[in-house]
Amino acid sequence: MRYLIGLLLLCLPLLGSAQQMTIKFEIPALDVSPYHRPYVAIWLETPKRKGVHTIAVWYEKDDWLKDLRQWWRKLGRKDAAAYDATSGATRKPGSYKVHWNGLDQNQQPITAGEYFLNLEASREAGGRDFVRQKIRWGEPGEPQQFELQGDLELSNIQIIIE
């Protein structure tokens, strides 16, 4: 019985910090020729701008990942294995959702605290967008919701943390 009570006490902090994040955004339809689908990266960094974790990266060819300049400098060039599990193909214009459970690439919870959530998009022969939002992660409290707008390659960005 003592063992079960001890185990429960050890697990309580983990149960209380089980947050989920949903990031909704649009890749707008642009009337340009030729049109290339944008590369997109979503990641967390500390307030001191140190990269923590890549949540998603959408791309076609490795050679052009460096065009996601902010993400590439923070996380991309360091370790392909760190973002390989979160990668996917580029997407056509439309609405998208990315869900994140708060775990890093080793399935370990991200430490509670303040972070910046970053979204970056870059398109060949096109523009770049970089949007960032300060968030609180793993701390008890009210759900967080943010509405952001990109300049050209991203629009109608909504961040929901519950």
- Cα separation, 155 vs 11, whole angstroms: 39
The terminus-to-terminus CA distance of the chain in angstroms comes to 33
Predicted TM-score (pTM) of this structure: 0.87
pLDDT at residue 10 greater than cutoff 90: no
Give the span between the Cα atoms of 161 and 136, in whole angstroms: 9
Q: Are 54 and 65 in contact (CB under 8 A)?
A: no
Question: What SS3 class is residue 137?
Answer: strand
Domain 18-161 part of CATH 2.60.40: yes
Q: Is 160 exposed, middle or buried (0-12, 13-18, 19+ CB in 10 A)?
A: middle
Per-residue model confidence as pLDDT tens digits over 33-83: 999 999 999 999 999 999 999 999 999 998 899 999 999 999 999 877 778
Domain locations in the chain?
A: 18-161
